[in-house]
Structure 1
Amino acid sequence: MNKQSDISLATLHVPTRHDSGPKHVTGTAEYIDDMVEPVGTMHAYLGLSTRPHAEILGMDFSEVLAAPGVIGVLTNDDVPGELDISSAHVHDEPLFANGEVHFWGQPIFAVIAETRDQARRAAHLAKVDYQDLPFFTDVRSAQAAGGQQVTKPLKLERGDVEAGLAAAPHRAKGAVAIGGQDHFYLEGQIALAVPGEDEDVTVHSSTQHPSEVQLIVAHALGIRQNAVTINVRRMGGGFGGKETQGNLFAVVAALAAKKWNRACKIRPDRDDDMSATGKRHDFVVDYDVGYDEDGKILAVDAVYGARGGFSADLTGPVTDRALFHCDNAYWYPAVRARSEPLYTNTVSNTAFRGFGGPQGMVAAERWVEDIAYALGKDPLEIRKANFYGTDTNNVTPYHQRVEDNIIHRVVEELEASSDYQARRQAVLDFNKSSAVLKKGIALTPVKFGISFTATWYNQAGALVHVYRDGSIHLSHGGTEMGQGLYIKVAQVVAEAFGVNLDTVKIMATSTGKVPNTSATAASSGSDLNGMAAWDACEQIKARMLTHAAKLYDAEEADCRWVTGGLDVGERHVPFAELAASAYMNRVQLSAAGFYKTPKIHWDRATGRGHPFYYFAYGASVSEVTIDTLTGEYTVDRVDILHDVGKSLNPAIDIGQVEGGFIQGMGWLTTEELVWDDEGQLRTHAPSTYKIPLASDVPPIFNVQLAEWSVNREPTIGRSKAVGEPPLMLAISVVEALGMAVASVADYAIAPRLDMPVTPERVLMGVERMRKARIS
């Protein structure tokens, strides 16, 4: 019996298990470190800086080279091509520190040895002479030092902000600090490079962006892209951390492989991985908001300072997207939002699920919270009063009209299904009678734009082969990191041909199959690659239909695709039979599909355009309990209603919503990045960095998809993206914790909790409320 028989009849819009699910459970899913190493494989390990900012006066590798098993040391002198590995292509990120280190943990060389253990031990034997330089590691100190920026800032503006603020009866002024986050993927950064003849090199890379790794490796080796092949079967998680950060590891492996003509693998320890690779950007948002007696927002002026790190990486587009989401689901009559992508002596921060959008939304919810507490209203009332309209009051700060607004219905349905109003009253009653334990509840919305704001990334390719036995070979440019992209695109192909899902063979992503691909990011993997695969299928189907009409002497109009094959008049031709016939009659059964997202355009210089193809919506209700004596708390219940359009695979999509929420909850509550006074990241291991555990999942966790939603745009299956938007649903946890804290002062003062809202911050917030109540 076919091992995949349990999913063989599944096509689009049907709950279908992840294609690698059984392999994950049984441990047979192959990752790069599971691959059989070629004979003679070398191992590389990075030598990292132990200063946050310093000039390198000299490096002594004599003890390194004398260590057992050491083959050699790679430095910048060993790079035959371009030294730069910058994703931003601004040439500001050398492979290794080039005479000056800019953060503690910056790679400065790599040791190549016979075994990984030998390379790792030898890397610590190097003697590096430093001349220390001044450093700063956070947003406020960077601003105080003059606010040097790693990339060009952005300003979005619409309406007369000064007039709006001046005329507003009330003002909310303040700042909110929003912490960063480590990706903490299960599979760390890793690359295996195998040299070929001439200039050729094949790299197995754990990357979300194979085409960029291909380009960067080619530039470093001083060769053309066609000599470099990047293969990605699967990643053990990415979350944005493997969009650009894999470049370094792939280049080191490839350089060593070509220099010594032997395969080379590099896999850092978790501590070094966390120290040397970028994270979610920390933000400090300063704001001034005008509003009226009803809580209607009249004007917003906000500055978004971000910890960028020492180089540009993706800080520019991340801070841009934070501004794109400074409105969340709210219409501002007048708005000005400005980014400050700041240089700091820390690793350059990078893409992370939500890509700046979460930080923008958190700030929006902060001033909504300020308004609610100042007016003595339920924050949900303020949210509803400021929602985007459907025909008017629907222009964003970047001048795109919100034409698909369903946030009113989503919130209304969740408010009813979660019994929000009755539960809020129960929370208020509980807090009146409980001296130590306090509860909070909050309902928050999400509106998230879908598309890359770098317009050229909104394209995808796919390669589909039909073999003479009717089996199908599928390749596309998307990468699988556990999110279920492969199974969704396979469902698209099975649906297109009307065959069982087990007919479709999902191939590893390879730059040798589909060129010039975009990163699997921006929640666009299914949108782009699904449509490209569909295009390829339609090409093949058209040829097969023409062939069948000719073979059976029928009109093409009388031929129609059905489940299992093609109906030609009254005759049904099974798909496998048709494939064999087409082959015998020299019909091409292979096609390259392509798709580019329509309608989108963006002019960054003017801050105007239509950068998003559509919006995904959602809402969540969180209920919490805090201990006012210790600051400890529990998340007791969560209810979610999320919009994925017409779901391609409800089982996968619900899993994405659940996982996104928990990851967002971790970012906002437990995952804290701490740099010490010497500039070293101290939270660089599971012992000091706390991701959510299974025990942190709310005991009542209700997740529903908005099954009535259908994307008004002609996306694949009329679905919507699901990867990133659910993470922002977790903002309701912070708002609920804020309510619990504010109850100590009878809700008269806005809690203003900075993030992550750790138990310590809860306790400090409680003490603030107690002092305010006494005074």
Structure 2
Amino acid sequence: MNGRGEAAIVEGGVSRSLRHESARLHVTGGATYIDDIPAPANLLHVAPGLSMRAHARVVSLDLEAVRAFPGVVRVITAQDVPGDNQISPVHAGDEPLLAEGEVFYYGQLLFAVVAETRYAARRAARLAKVEYEDLPAILTLEEARNGAGELVGKSFLMSRGDAPEAVRAAPHTLSGRVVVGGQEQFYLEGQAAYALPGEEGEMRVFSSTQHPTETQHMVAHVLGLPANLVTVEVRRMGGGFGGKETQANAFACLAALAASLTGRPARLRLDRDDDMTITGKRHDFAIDYTVGFDNDGMVHGVDMVLAARCGWSADLSGPVTDRALFHADNAYYYPAVRLRSEPFRTNTQSNTAFRGFGGPQGIAAAERIMDEIAFATGLDPLDVRLRNTYDTASRNITPYHMTVEDAIAREVMEQLANDCDYRTRRDAARRFNRDSQTIRRGIALTPVKFGIAFTATHFNQAGALVHVYTDGSVQVNHGGTEMGQGLHTKMVQIAMREFGLREDRVRITATTTGKVPNTSATAASSGADLNGMAVLDAIRQIKFRLVSFAAGHWNVPEESVVFLPEGVRVGSALVSFTALVKAAYMARIQLSASGFYKTPKISWDAQTGRGRPFLYFAYGAACAEVSVDLLTGENRIERVDILHDAGQSLNPALDIGQVEGGFVQGAGWLTMEELVWDASGRLRTHAPSTYKIPACSDRPAIFNVRLLEQAPNREETIFRSKAVGEPPFVHGLAVLHALSDALASIDDYRSCPKLDAPATPEQILRTAERLKSRAAG
């Protein structure tokens, strides 16, 4: 024994495809979400009143008709906030909860209606009479970049070597711009919160949030209370994808305000149109690049400027654009590199976290560069990618000066290319295209190297609370949140493995700030890494006590006490877990423990742009084959093969599900999901009727997904697993580049199509016409 219970480990529980802990409840409708919590008789409902200008001074706000509407109990404005009317997660004073004299985007929260019914609250909110004085509005990234915009926070520079000189001295150079659009999170459960007032100012808030601790702090801040009077709880979310990391805070605060001011429970559930109109999206980027390279397709230097539309407030735009820089190399080594961010403020929704957190946008630029080099040299794009990957010898330093210790991108790509017969299929696609007038086929294979950890170092910590009851059942609580990804299931599996228990003997309870305080958001793909290790820490404390007790009680060496699925072996005897626990209880052994974990080895100096912001990298590769109709611009994903690195997977079925879902969501972002604002700044794609996401019919006709085998994490993560939340999203880029490959056939593969995203049918037709003109000229 080493004091933490490591000697008493059993190999059951993890690395098994255990079903999702709430699967039965999901499919039978028994899973409880915020709006399913039984309503008390005196429940009030809250609905927001929204700005109808992109940027304006509020000359007058007449709410008399709102207050007079039958069923309305109260109307809340900024003047009614007892604490501070600010909910910015990063920049103090940057984001008022309710507008104060000026509005900054179409859909900003002006006031909130509290009524006896949801219908009354929503109807009354439309009766406000608002007089505006319009102010200049910046709606697009182009407008912001043309000198009219200001930055949200600071531009960040990341460099290594003399990139301008390396580019200048290279045998060949090229410059270009890649544009990638934004994306709506489109979680199935919209933003929702339920607040229950208690005695002496206590407030209990049930929120669909990925960051209960931050929501707790925001509610306390707005109500003018200490954090110990506010408890935030979340059993599960119906999806989050980052859209509930910070943007759930406003709605929890409004529900809590209503409950505090009226003394009655209050619930807020946004209508889908309001949800999409109010909340932020994935940042759209325009990335300018210049690259120097040689005849062999080897990169000599890269110079990039990554500009993003951030919206009206900072939110998380600084960290998002920073991470775009961190991933602008993807799997490739740049001998000299300079990367700079430009996070622009605009009069649109405040863009926020979204699966990948800026990483996919940066990776999109890296992949465009590889394609550009391939067309310029006449090489196969896969060969250009393979030649430029990191290695562990000399080509192993990132733009942020971190050493890549596990460069396996090349091996993963080569294995996938061989397994899916990439080169034969590429030749077949080209033969097909020579004889086809309207349908063209394309194929592409792209990698992903994704850094795992929060780049804000202090978020790399987690807590957990584990109870063992005298009947041998176990209750686990941790600071992570469940949004369908299976985090709770993996925590159950950890307890099963360590104690040697069946699934039905371990229970996960709702995440609550009242049990595990000061938690980090469930984001950055770190949910299982952080919380799993915290749960393990708590369990091993209990096991250490149980092992010490058993050794003394039965007079055997500690190393002979082993937890097995069939019971606990104590010397030559086999004792049931329940019997051991009961005996320990009678001997007054503590059967509860609080666990904690902080990610080791990481460091980051934002001033110098140097450090080790990530504990490790997750890898993978995807090969996509598509068909494109040149008459309509419509396209179909014919086949996708993915090989993904999950380390020693905790649950292969859940991880493969994450890879499949991440790929489809990534492909949707790049091919069909298009956000459109009109000239007034109003979001026109604000409902399923106007915003298209992938449907079942959009999935690949052939879809092969495998996890990389015998590839445990080099780092000491939870049982040597790797994160699988965000990295698979990047696999969607294979579809964009396969579409590009298909379009390249129009001018006989002489030039890079430079297909921007989203590659909607309209965008494909525009690109096709440009290539036809080039071929004719």
Q: Same fold (TM over 0.5)?
A: yes
2:360 pairs with 1:358: yes
**3-state SS, counterpart of residue 483 of structure 2:** coil
Structure 1 window deviating more from structure 2 (77-86 vs 451-460): it is 77-86
What is the 5 A alignment of 1:107-506?
107-506=109-508
Per-residue CA deviations over 1:323-356 (Å, capped at 9, x if unaligned) read 0000000000100000001000001100000000
**Is the Cα–Cα contact under 8 Å of residues 523 and 723 in structure 1 kept in the other structure?**
yes
2:737 equivalent in structure 1: 735
Identity %: 58
**Is the Cα–Cα contact under 8 Å of residues 12 and 565 in structure 2 kept in the other structure?**
no
Compute the displacement of 1:746 (Å). Answer: 0.5
Compute the displacement of 1:558 (Å). Answer: 3.3
1:712 equivalent in structure 2: 714
1:683 equivalent in structure 2: 685
Q: Distance in 1 between matches of 2:389 and 2:559?
A: 49
Q: Distance in 2 between matches of 1:497 and 1:196?
A: 38
2:67 pairs with 1:65: yes
Q: TM-score, normalised by structure 2?
A: 0.98
Compute the displacement of 1:147 (Å). Answer: 3.6
Partner residue of 1:23 out of 22, 25, 29: 25
Q: Distance in 2 between matches of 1:676 and 1:655?
A: 37
**3-state SS, counterpart of residue 200 of structure 2:** coil
Equivalenced residue count is 767
Q: Distance in 1 between matches of 2:441 and 2:396?
A: 35
Compute the displacement of 1:10 (Å). Answer: 6.6
The one-letter code sitting in structure 1 at the alignment partner of 2:651 is N
**3-state SS, counterpart of residue 145 of structure 1:** helix
The one-letter code sitting in structure 2 at the alignment partner of 1:318 is V
Unaligned runs of 5+ in 1: 1-8
**3-state SS, counterpart of residue 593 of structure 1:** strand
What root-mean-square deviation, in Å, do the aligned CA atoms of Structure 1 and Structure 2 show? 0.9
Q: Report runs of 4+ in structure 1 exceeding 3 Å deviation.
A: none
1:627 equivalent in structure 2: 629
Partner residue of 2:757 out of 755, 758, 773: 755
Partner residue of 2:588 out of 586, 589, 614: 586
**Is the Cα–Cα contact under 8 Å of residues 647 and 722 in structure 2 kept in the other structure?**
yes
Q: Distance in 2 between matches of 1:766 and 1:559?
A: 70
2:45 pairs with 1:75: no
The one-letter code sitting in structure 2 at the alignment partner of 1:117 is Y
**Is the Cα–Cα contact under 8 Å of residues 10 and 501 in structure 1 kept in the other structure?**
no
Compute the displacement of 1:150 (Å). Answer: 1.0
Q: Distance in 2 between matches of 1:651 and 1:638?
A: 18
**3-state SS, counterpart of residue 531 of structure 2:** helix
Q: Distance in 2 between matches of 1:704 and 1:558?
A: 39
Per-residue CA deviations over 1:424-454 (Å, capped at 9, x if unaligned) read 0000100111111111000000000000000
The one-letter code sitting in structure 2 at the alignment partner of 1:451 is A
Structure 1 window deviating more from structure 2 (418-427 vs 376-385): it is 376-385
Unaligned runs of 5+ in 2: 1-10
Q: Distance in 2 between matches of 1:446 and 1:170?
A: 26
Partner residue of 2:556 out of 554, 557, 564: 554
Per-residue CA deviations over 1:485-544 (Å, capped at 9, x if unaligned) read 000011001111111121101100000010000000000000001100000000001111
**3-state SS, counterpart of residue 129 of structure 1:** strand
Q: Distance in 1 between matches of 2:313 and 2:396?
A: 36
1:535 equivalent in structure 2: 537
Compute the displacement of 1:555 (Å). Answer: 3.0
Compute the displacement of 1:90 (Å). Answer: 2.5
2:582 pairs with 1:575: no
The one-letter code sitting in structure 1 at the alignment partner of 2:20 is H
1:518 equivalent in structure 2: 520
The one-letter code sitting in structure 1 at the alignment partner of 2:445 is L
Structure 1 window deviating more from structure 2 (714-723 vs 568-577): it is 568-577
Q: Distance in 2 between matches of 1:258 and 1:528?
A: 34
Compute the displacement of 1:557 (Å). Answer: 3.5
Partner residue of 1:724 out of 695, 716, 726: 726
Per-residue CA deviations over 1:16-69 (Å, capped at 9, x if unaligned) read 111111111111111111110122100000001100000001100010011010
The one-letter code sitting in structure 1 at the alignment partner of 2:609 is G
**3-state SS, counterpart of residue 199 of structure 2:** coil
Q: Distance in 2 between matches of 1:376 and 1:103?
A: 47
Structure 1 window deviating more from structure 2 (566-575 vs 153-162): it is 566-575
Structure 1 window deviating more from structure 2 (170-179 vs 462-471): it is 170-179
**3-state SS, counterpart of residue 693 of structure 2:** coil
Q: Distance in 2 between matches of 1:96 and 1:630?
A: 45
Q: Distance in 2 between matches of 1:10 and 1:25?
A: 27
Compute the displacement of 1:240 (Å). Answer: 0.3
Structure 1 window deviating more from structure 2 (207-216 vs 83-92): it is 83-92
Q: Distance in 1 between matches of 2:41 and 2:227?
A: 26
1:6 equivalent in structure 2: none
2:658 pairs with 1:656: yes
**3-state SS, counterpart of residue 368 of structure 2:** helix
Partner residue of 1:44 out of 27, 37, 46: 46
Q: Distance in 2 between matches of 1:565 and 1:10?
A: 12
Compute the displacement of 1:163 (Å). Answer: 1.3
**Is the Cα–Cα contact under 8 Å of residues 10 and 500 in structure 1 kept in the other structure?**
no
Compute the displacement of 1:145 (Å). Answer: 3.2
Q: Distance in 2 between matches of 1:430 and 1:741?
A: 13
**Is the Cα–Cα contact under 8 Å of residues 172 and 367 in structure 1 kept in the other structure?**
no
Per-residue CA deviations over 1:731-753 (Å, capped at 9, x if unaligned) read 00000000111110111111011
**3-state SS, counterpart of residue 198 of structure 1:** helix
The one-letter code sitting in structure 2 at the alignment partner of 1:477 is G
The one-letter code sitting in structure 2 at the alignment partner of 1:694 is C
**3-state SS, counterpart of residue 763 of structure 1:** helix
Compute the displacement of 1:548 (Å). Answer: 1.2
2:771 pairs with 1:773: no
Q: Distance in 2 between matches of 1:651 and 1:162?
A: 47
Partner residue of 2:670 out of 653, 659, 668: 668
1:105 equivalent in structure 2: 107
Compute the displacement of 1:556 (Å). Answer: 2.3
Structure 1 window deviating more from structure 2 (377-386 vs 326-335): it is 377-386
Structure 1 window deviating more from structure 2 (656-665 vs 33-42): it is 33-42
**3-state SS, counterpart of residue 717 of structure 1:** helix
Per-residue CA deviations over 1:611-643 (Å, capped at 9, x if unaligned) read 000000000000011111111111100000000
Q: Distance in 2 between matches of 1:563 and 1:595?
A: 27
Q: Distance in 2 between matches of 1:520 and 1:239?
A: 10
Q: Distance in 2 between matches of 1:769 and 1:379?
A: 19
The one-letter code sitting in structure 2 at the alignment partner of 1:103 is Y
1:87 equivalent in structure 2: 89
Q: Distance in 2 between matches of 1:89 and 1:456?
A: 17
Compute the displacement of 1:91 (Å). Answer: 2.3
**Is the Cα–Cα contact under 8 Å of residues 10 and 16 in structure 1 kept in the other structure?**
no
Q: Distance in 2 between matches of 1:38 and 1:355?
A: 39
Per-residue CA deviations over 1:178-213 (Å, capped at 9, x if unaligned) read 100000000000000000000100000000000000
**3-state SS, counterpart of residue 96 of structure 2:** coil
1:3 equivalent in structure 2: none
1:641 equivalent in structure 2: 643
**3-state SS, counterpart of residue 107 of structure 2:** coil
2:7 equivalent in structure 1: none
The one-letter code sitting in structure 1 at the alignment partner of 2:436 is S
1:4 equivalent in structure 2: none
Q: Distance in 2 between matches of 1:238 and 1:390?
A: 36
